[in-house]
Amino acid sequence: MAQSYAAGDWFAVPLRFRLFALGRAAAVDARGVILGYFFARFFERLPSGADVLALTPGDADLIGVCDEHGLRSGEWPLISVRQASDPRPWSVPVFRTFDPQTGAMRWSTYDPADLGAEIVFDAEPVEAGIRNWGLSMPALSARPMSWAAVEAALWRSFRDFQNGQHRKYIADMQRGLTTGVT
């Protein structure tokens, strides 16, 4: 059965090994396509509405247009609907990309009513600073993504986090061995 969702809703993104990350639909068009803010915050249980209270747009690890399959199918369960969570609107950012062959910079955004309609600018639009204020530029993904691509990107973030934790653990163990503390 198809799941109903709207802009402002928070949802869980299931990853491998029963882990979950978080997402928020900033815009949803008539087809159900979303512009999502995705967070590489990892949970070993289905997150709750309380888990999203402190998150802000600037905390997002991935921001972009995503197809509707994950939410519509219910594979990405809703955890907090817009009425029960942060009522602030989250912007549809201005994306910046570089053409690798020419080195030219390109600015674009998406129409919230039709997220398949990319709006391209000739130069950096004045509203880019306001829309992108506080957002991590590496988090912005200008190309539309599939639900599987979002899950893969969040899984890579988890692997990077896990590798960092492992390196810290090894460094702590080595430090303990050299100082005689175990």
pLDDT tens-digit map of 107-121:
999 999 999 999 999
Tell me the backbone φ, ψ of residue 149, rounded to 5 degrees. -65, -35
pLDDT at 75: 94
Among 103, 95, 87, 86, which Cα is nearest to 127's? 95
- Tens of pLDDT, residue by residue over 45-78, are 999 988 988 899 999 999 999 999 999 999 999 9
The answer to whether 18 touches 42, Cβ cutoff 8 Å, is no
143: DSSP letter = S
| pLDDT, averaged across the chain | 86
> Is residue 5 within 8 Å of 28, Cβ to Cβ?
yes
Whats the size of the chain, residue-wise? Answer: 182
Reported as a single tens digit per residue, the pLDDT across 91-102 is 899 999 888 888
pLDDT (0 to 100) of residue 161: 65
What does the pLDDT read at residue 175? 67
pLDDT of 27 strictly over 90: yes
Q: What is the pLDDT of residue 181?
A: 58
pLDDT at 68: 93
> DSSP secondary-structure letter at 3?
P
DSSP state, residue 145: B
- Non-local (6+) Cβ contacts of 48 within 8 A are 79, 80
Q: Is the model's pLDDT at 104 over the cut of 80?
A: yes
Q: What is the DSSP letter of 97?
A: E
* Tens digit of each residue's pLDDT (9 = 90 or more) over 119-135: 999 899 999 988 888 88
Tens of pLDDT, residues 157-175:
887 766 555 556 556 666 6
What is residue 35's predicted lDDT score, i.e. its pLDDT?
A: 96
pLDDT of residue 103: 86
**b/e per residue 61-83 (b: at least 16 CB within 10 A):** bbbbbbbbebbbeeebebbbebe
Q: Identify the band that residue 82 occupies on the pLDDT scale cut at 50, 70 and 90.
A: low
